[in-house]
Amino acid sequence: MIHYFEHTTSTNDLARGADYRHMDVVWAGSQSAGRGQRGHKWHSIEGENLTFSVVLEPHFLPIVEQFMLSEVVALALVDTLRNYGLEARIKWTNDIYVGDYKIAGVLIEQMLATDHIARTIVGIGLNIQQTDFPDDLPNPTSMRLEGAEGCSPREVLEAFMLNLERWYSRLVDGDKDAISQRYNSLLYHRDEPHTYAYASGERFEATIRRVQPTGHLVVEHADGTISAYAFKEIEFCLPQKRRR
């Protein structure tokens, strides 16, 4: 069920309420403390985009396989954009890009029991109508800027939930290899040499080969050595770009 609020602090916080259960959606027109990954704020103009959180209760999923949830969510976002004629890719771990521009971000927060995942809050910011963005955002875009005009946020949200339910059912059915294969086939910068940076800031050239089921990014370095990196161990080095 979709629960709409005109305003809240962060839908990820609101969705923690015990009344919200599996596949419930907490959607807000605006957030005063929208959170992004790596401690960033999530910026969104009131009413123009989608800012919402979905509650999942994946009790069947071993904790070591929690990255499968990121994959399922990213695939549902890519399919939703495709429903509107947009070809998107997944920038590891789960930013959604159209070309070199970020159109959606995902913040997944897990509540773990001793041996299983008790609850997962999937927070999503998807830019729909916004065309002006703050200068400090490196490369934002929106469905409208990419040519999908006049989309209603509610309609897009409903399309996303159908796609999420479909991918999630495949996870429940144990179709894990197919999910990971599809996720890998949509990876941004896969099999192309690019510049990355370690957490220390030191840069290096490498080629993304795949993402492991644990969520580690496997890259081939310029000298041919292969390494697997966890989230936050390396970053993409992307130039600042504006969609105009």
Report, in Å, the least distance between residue 74 CB and ligand BTN: 11
Report, in Å, the least distance between residue 108 CB and ligand BTN: 9
Report, in Å, the least distance between residue 173 CB and ligand BTN: 28
Looking at beta carbons only, is 172 or 237 nearer to ligand BTN? 237
Which H or E run includes 204? strand 203-211
Residue showing the smallest CB distance to ligand BTN in the complex? 105
Report, in Å, the least distance between residue 126 CB and ligand BTN: 8
**Which string of DSSP letters, residue by residue, matches 70-129?**
HHHHHHHHHHHHHHTT---EEETTTEEEETTEEEEEEEEEEEE-SSSEEEEEEEEEE-SS
Looking at beta carbons only, is 12 or 163 nearer to ligand BTN? 12
Looking at beta carbons only, is 9 or 181 nearer to ligand BTN? 9
Residues 6 or more apart whose Cβ sits within 8 Å of residue 28 = 4, 5, 6, 7, 8, 11, 14, 51, 52
CA angle 176, 102, 182 (to 5 degrees): 20
Looking at beta carbons only, is 36 or 213 nearer to ligand BTN? 36
- The site for ligand BTN (CB under 6 A) is made up of 10-12, 31, 34-37, 40, 42, 51-53, 95, 105-107, 123-125
For residues 159 and 171, what is the distance between their CA atoms, to the nearest angstrom? 19
